[in-house]
Structure 1
Amino acid sequence: MPFGEMTITLHDVAVLLGIPVGGDMVVGNESVKAQLCEMLRVEQLNERSKPSLKSGGLVCAEAMQQVGRFRERDSEVWMFLTCLLGTTLFVDRSGDRAQVWPLQFLGDTRRVRKYSWGSATLAYLYRQLGMASRADCKGMGGCLTLLQSWIYEYFPCLRDQKLGTRGLVCGEPFAKKWEGVRIGGGAQLMNERLDHYRRVLDNMTDEFVFWCPFGPRPGAMVSRSLYSGVIRCMSVEEMYDPSRCLRQFGYV
């Protein structure tokens, strides 16, 4: 920003998405696609009704059509969770496929909570943001729900003036405040919005930022957010350094 650095923190992930940022890192083997597919028991389905596994991953629409046809309950749960993670937290640019690597962490559904899904989501989004900043990039993956809701919380001036928030039930993730928000329009209108947002960002001062939207002491609320080091999502490794954005933690 014109006045310094800002970033999405682990505290933001925990509050906006309501997923754990503490626990074991999501690190495994990305080259075991055949074995992971075996976990889905797809061989129990009729050959013509098998979910397609293309180079980009599992085709979600076809996969979800098979839920309810498995002989084993675990297979249905694995299929559902794989599609869920692939279309929310770890979205790629294909738009219709989910990677199968999360399966290795879902084999025992009782252990799903022990992993730091929040830090993995943030690492994956950091990498996608870096790739999207290149001049030849035409799309972006990652958890865009996290990115968009983070923008709305910290930058009120970037919200649509007609935008209204919904009330939250106790315990709901803050991202649900912005549920149902849709931004449409043709190419010309989108270009006008883009020019407008660029001007706003270029001329923005720190007075236009809501520095601590979730409370005065974010580090005390989510102690893991003050962690400094590497966060990982499989082979993706990204540095996480809260000392570079101290104002987001209530410090000078």
Structure 2
Amino acid sequence: MDLDPDLAALEALGGFFVLRVGAGPATSLPSLAQAYANRPSEDHGNPVTFRVEKVAAALRAPEARIAASVAQQGLAARLWSVALGCAARYDAIPDLAPERLRWDPDAGAPDDLWLTEVSALPADPATVADVVLHGHLEPFATALRAHHRLAPGLLRGNAASALAGAARQLEQWARLHGDERTAARTRSLTAALLAHPLLAGALTADLRRRSCCLYYRVPGGGVCGDCCFTRTPRSSARGASG
């Protein structure tokens, strides 16, 4: 199936899957390529720093690195959702090169992304990994770690957890609509991606994380459903969370 110009098949899947298409108001927004390079934009200064500060204020995070972790996982969830959704519904993915994606660092969740031009790529695991992992999550991690003390294992766990979460939501939609083909394709692609060297071992066999995203340190945050911790750690245990 070819990609349609508006990626309309994503609209039924929920907010994390929907991708705005075309330039429109996004012409004033920084591209993700600009953000990953830590190049300032006219309205937001350093887009990555701006985003982390916005997330920190929204969460009342006691440390900037907590907000940086949450920001990274949020963008990872958006990118994985778009890629998986397109792979399952179109048998193709759009070229999501960072220079094609405009990003509003001042938006709420999920991250507001605009794709300036739609062109199709194969939906095989190697291409999806190249587009999302190498094209986005590696340079985003580098940009974040330039300013924040984030363990590589934490960021790798965030990327794997975001992938598993996107897949789970897509499978739930497929089961609800009796679409076994989408469910099976999602399971197959997700398993292959979780075996990628950049993600392998980040989750257990039952898809629990081996690292913590630090969200439990947010006031009233608690632990996530796939956290390596089964209960909120005491302050003395917090050094093990990276």
TM beyond 0.5:
no
TM-score, normalisation: structure 1? 0.28
Higher share of residues assigned helix = 2
Relative contact order higher in (CA < 8 Å, ≥ 6 apart): 1
With normalisation by structure 2, the TM-score equals: 0.29
